[in-house]
Structure 1
């Protein structure tokens, strides 16, 4: 992990005084919303650790991270709407019913909680699109999730930067390690907390509540 963080910071250090850095952050966080292979959390935590030295600008970094979260969520939602229609007629109908059950059970809070779980962001935003969660509600919880996640990631970086003030690299690695540990704990707690598994729910009755949910969004 130290080597990964070091390579990332080596590439970003020349941009610390450039406004292009915030565009890179925005793009990385956005892409990570629908192609979860971009290490956007590592990037934001690492830059948060560096911000303890005065660069990058903390407010601009937070704004870029939150804006990227909103943009990526929006794309993921639209992809979910298209994929959801095809899945409902294909072999993935049962999987879609389980996803609908989860979102209908937890509501928009699933989008907020999913942001802090491994791969939870993509899963919840695409599911929101596939079940046609009202856009106003989706945008509200996406904004809350993006803001909370940006504060969380930067906060971890700042904590690491303060702990290892002599080494931004170690500070970034420390913040990332804490983030990974918390994500694992959240995932474990969520798994143990569920009293009923989606597989025990008959997928057929799910569609009427979904239509009612959609209709309520247009009132």
Structure 2
């Protein structure tokens, strides 16, 4: 598969969206945003359907959020500590909460996902805080849909405006998303008054 050739992607973009966005719920470095933005860039070239990309990305986002939420709501997070990947995931939760904050409000569940690491932090925090499953589910669905639509729009509009190859439009869209996310993160941090202290990787994982 020639990754630089739009024809090579075809329906493959639909196949990769669900596992990638699901994986991002547990491991934030998974490049789900880049893939969804690429879907938008491909749709600008007529190689993908933007609506289908949004639906798949939103559905996968909701499924991933519900998985992590239930894991922490039911206090099952210690079970995965038996494996190295589970301990790494648990430590990543600490780091994400330290970076994005431990807010479990409905507004945070919807909006903080636009900050790098914010999705994992708010989802875990909501489970720990025993937020209503129905309320969380609705907010996760709304937040996931907004995030998917935003990401696809970034790719679509950069592709339409620049007329560059889809991969170049994707990189521009990702860059714009990171800048906007960083600005939102700074605003949120300042509104909270101070930045949360960094997580100690050797600290006992007590949730």
TM-score w.r.t. the length of structure 1 is 0.72
Aligned ranges for residues 85-104 of structure 1 at < 5 Å?
A: 102-103=102-103
1:120 aligned to 118, 121, 127, which one?
118
Deviation at 1:197, TM superposition (A): 7.4
Higher helix share: 1
1:33 aligned to 18, 25, 37, which one?
25
Gaps of 5+ in 2: 79-90, 198-207
- Tell me the SS of whatever aligns to 2:103: helix
- Tell me the SS of whatever aligns to 2:30: coil
Gaps of 5+ in 1: 1-6, 87-91, 200-219
1:23 corresponds to 2:15:
yes
1:119-174 Cα distance to aligned partner (Å, 9 max, x none)? 00001011111121110000010011000000100010012101221422221111
TM-score w.r.t. the length of structure 2 is 0.76
- Tell me the SS of whatever aligns to 1:103: coil
1:176-204 Cα distance to aligned partner (Å, 9 max, x none)? 110010011011111111137778xxxxx
Aligned to 2:85: none
Aligned to 2:38: 46
1:14 corresponds to 2:12:
no
Deviation at 1:103, TM superposition (A): 3.0
Aligned to 1:215: none
Larger radius of gyration between Structure 1 and Structure 2:
1
The 1:198/1:84 distance shift into structure 2, 3 A limit, reads farther
Q: Number of paired residues?
A: 179
